[in-house]
């Protein structure tokens, strides 16, 4: 009889396959990190011999969540400059903070903090774009998460790349160094935006990404001012401008895509470019509401992202699902748009498709990597359970994630990370925060009695 490496049982399987099948009393069998069985239990669990078992205790077994846009090291700037317009926030607070405090040691610790937060709230895959990305990749690999990681490109002196003339070389070197180093790390190229990168930089960076066969990421049409300036300077929208430069194709991830019109959406469909939708960040910075229901109706692939902690303040994709569903309902004045299944797909299989990993992850299907999470449903706020998909979007929280595994390896067991020392990471981040804020950061718990 076949012996499996791991068997997950005694739970409801939300497959997120093409038919969105939900299997009651399901069993998922894993060998060599791959799902080899996902079915309703056919007999006693001893009929599924394994080296290890995971009891879901009646909870929901579902694909690990996919965060399609994040800036991992920026968790060290969480809450640093809130309640500001994007231009003020970025130019007067974030860019100076990055200039003064982003260096290899802070990038490493910020990345570890973000990875800890993501895995504890059910994300097994993320798509990052930042600087010192070799340090980011090394830290992510240490945590065991799966990630698409991109070296940032910008036409200004940047952390790790003080000479902008070397930005493309740095991105290419990162891709070459990490292409085959770790099976859970996929390298990428990230241009900050059309307004911080010249046409020459944009085309050269895209050429490098094409040459290496990797994903190209870029912030696009995030604000009204950006769209207006692009029309003034180039006589067209940001999406049309990138299309004219030959940037858009099936390996392009448009981040935000808020200020786009129907012609832009036709371009995205034609070029098969995808979109990372970050509703909470956009709401917090008041940049607008992306026309996601129209995107989906036209056939654009849209994944969910949190953005970085400096603009969102958390990396919980359960909150992002809830926000995405409700935001578009109120904007459209239609309670039927962005239904629960649509939003779950955005956070799983469609997110994986947007970053080029849908053949590996995003659904529970035979042959895919065993990137799985288990939701603890035995809690007051999750009782009773009539429709599991509605619970996931409107009721569940990241803190409800009991177990997390990537390629069958358990990264979170009973709400606690296995590979990393959370206490040590938090201590290091507090030290960094004191330097960032001139020694004025105070840990509330330490002063609770004062």
Instruction: Identify the CA nearest to 1 among candidates 41, 50, 44, 34.
Output: 50
**Residue where a domain terminates, one of 309, 329, 354:** 354
- 358 CB-near residues (< 8 Å, 6+ apart): 349, 352
CA separation for the pair 245, 216 (Å, rounded) = 14
What residues pair up with 286 in beta bridges, in sequence order?
none
Number of H helices, E strands in the chain: 16, 17
**Residue where a domain terminates, one of 301, 328, 354:** 354
Same domain? 27 vs 127: no
- 441 CB-near residues (< 8 Å, 6+ apart): 430, 433, 434
Same domain? 223 vs 330: yes
- For residue 199, being part of any structural domain is answered with yes
> What per-residue confidence (pLDDT) applies to 216?
98
- For residue 446, being part of any structural domain is answered with no
CATH code of residue 136? 3.20.20.140
Question: Would you give the DSSP letter of residue 64?
Answer: P
CA angle 102, 206, 161 (to 5 degrees): 25
Same domain? 47 vs 99: no
Q: How many structural domains compose the chain?
A: 2
- For residue 433, being part of any structural domain is answered with no
**Residue where a domain terminates, one of 327, 354, 381:** 354
Low-confidence ranges of the chain (pLDDT < 50): 439-450
Same domain? 109 vs 48: no
- For residue 23, being part of any structural domain is answered with yes
8 Å CB contact between 116 and 58: no
8 Å CB contact between 322 and 393: yes
> What per-residue confidence (pLDDT) applies to 441?
41
> What per-residue confidence (pLDDT) applies to 90?
85
What residues pair up with 11 in beta bridges, in sequence order?
26
- For residue 328, being part of any structural domain is answered with yes
Tokens 């056939």 — which residue? 299
Same domain? 50 vs 76: no
What residues pair up with 413 in beta bridges, in sequence order?
416
Q: How far is C-alpha 423 from the geometric centre of its chain's CA atoms?
A: 24
What the block records as the tokens of 87 is: 């231009």
Same domain? 283 vs 404: no
Please give the model's pTM, rounded to 2 decimal places: 0.96
Same domain? 26 vs 83: no
Backbone angles phi, psi at 127, to 5 degrees: -125, 115
8 Å CB contact between 137 and 183: no
Tokens 């430069």 — which residue? 245
Instruction: Identify the CA nearest to 15 among candidates 317, 372, 322.
Output: 372
Give per-residue pLDDT as tens, 363-397: 999 999 999 999 999 999 999 999 999 999 999 99
CA separation for the pair 331, 207 (Å, rounded) = 38
8 Å CB contact between 74 and 309: yes
Backbone angles phi, psi at 242, to 5 degrees: -65, -35
What the block records as the tokens of 278 is: 């970050």
Same domain? 59 vs 69: no
- For residue 294, being part of any structural domain is answered with yes
Same domain? 10 vs 143: no
- For residue 448, being part of any structural domain is answered with no
Same domain? 325 vs 224: yes
| Domain coverage including residue 400 | 6-63+363-417
- 324 CB-near residues (< 8 Å, 6+ apart): 277, 279, 292, 304, 338, 343, 346
β-bridge pairing 65-70 and 123-130: parallel
Same domain? 82 vs 178: yes
- For residue 288, being part of any structural domain is answered with yes
Same domain? 172 vs 289: yes
DSSP for 224-259 reads HHHHHHHHHHHSS-HHHHHHHTT--STTEEEEE--S
β-bridge pairing 372-375 and 401-406: antiparallel
CATH code of residue 51? 2.30.40.10
């Amino acid at each position: 009889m076949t012996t499996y490496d791991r068997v997950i049982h005694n739970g409801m399987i939300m497959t997120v396959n093409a038919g969105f099948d939900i299997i009651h009393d399901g069993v998922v069998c894993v060998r060599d990190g791959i799902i080899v069985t996902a079915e309703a239990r056919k007999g006693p669990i001893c009929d599924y011999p394994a080296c290890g078992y995971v009891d879901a205790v009646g909870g929901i077994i579902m694909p690990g969540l996919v965060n399609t846009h994040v800036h991992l090291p920026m968790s060290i700037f969480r809450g640093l400059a809130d309640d500001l317009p994007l231009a003020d926030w970025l130019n007067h607070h974030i860019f100076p903070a990055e200039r003064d405090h982003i260096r290899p040691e802070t990038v490493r610790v910020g990345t570890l903090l973000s990875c800890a937060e993501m895995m504890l709230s059910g994300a097994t895959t993320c798509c990052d774009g930042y600087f010192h990305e070799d340090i980011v990749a090394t830290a992510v690999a240490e945590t065991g998460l799966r990630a698409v990681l991109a070296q940032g490109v910008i036409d200004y002196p940047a952390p790790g790349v003080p000479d902008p003339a070397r930005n493309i070389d740095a991105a290419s070197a990162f891709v070459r160094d990490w292409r085959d180093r770790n099976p859970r790390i996929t390298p990428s190229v990230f241009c900050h935006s059309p307004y911080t990168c010249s046409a020459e930089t944009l085309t050269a960076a895209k050429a490098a990404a094409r040459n290496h066969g990797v994903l190209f990421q870029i912030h696009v049409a995030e604000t009204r001012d950006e769209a207006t300036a692009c029309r003034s300077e180039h006589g067209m929208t940001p999406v049309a401008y990138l299309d004219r430069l030959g940037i858009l194709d099936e390996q392009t991830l448009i981040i935000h895509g808020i200020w786009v019109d129907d012609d832009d959406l036709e371009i995205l469909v034609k070029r098969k470019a995808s979109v990372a939708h970050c509703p909470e960040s956009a709401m917090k910075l008041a940049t607008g509401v992306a026309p996601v229901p129209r995107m989906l109706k036209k056939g654009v692939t849209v994944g969910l992202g949190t953005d970085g902690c400096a603009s969102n303040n958390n990396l919980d994709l359960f909150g992002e699902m809830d926000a995405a569903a409700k935001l578009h309902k109120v904007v459209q004045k239609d309670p039927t748009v962005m239904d629960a299944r649509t939003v779950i797909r955005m956070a799983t299989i469609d997110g994986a498709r947007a970053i080029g990993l849908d053949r590996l992850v995003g659904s529970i299907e035979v042959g895919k990597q065993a990137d799985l999470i288990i939701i603890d449903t035995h809690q007051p706020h999750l009782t009773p359970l009539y429709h599991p998909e509605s619970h996931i979007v409107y009721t569940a929280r990241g803190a409800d994630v009991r177990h997390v595994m990537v390629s069958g390896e358990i990264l979170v067991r009973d709400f606690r990370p296995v590979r990393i020392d959370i206490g040590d990471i938090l201590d290091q981040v507090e030290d960094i925060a004191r330097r960032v804020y001139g020694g004025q950061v105070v840990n509330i718990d330490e002063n609770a009695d004062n």
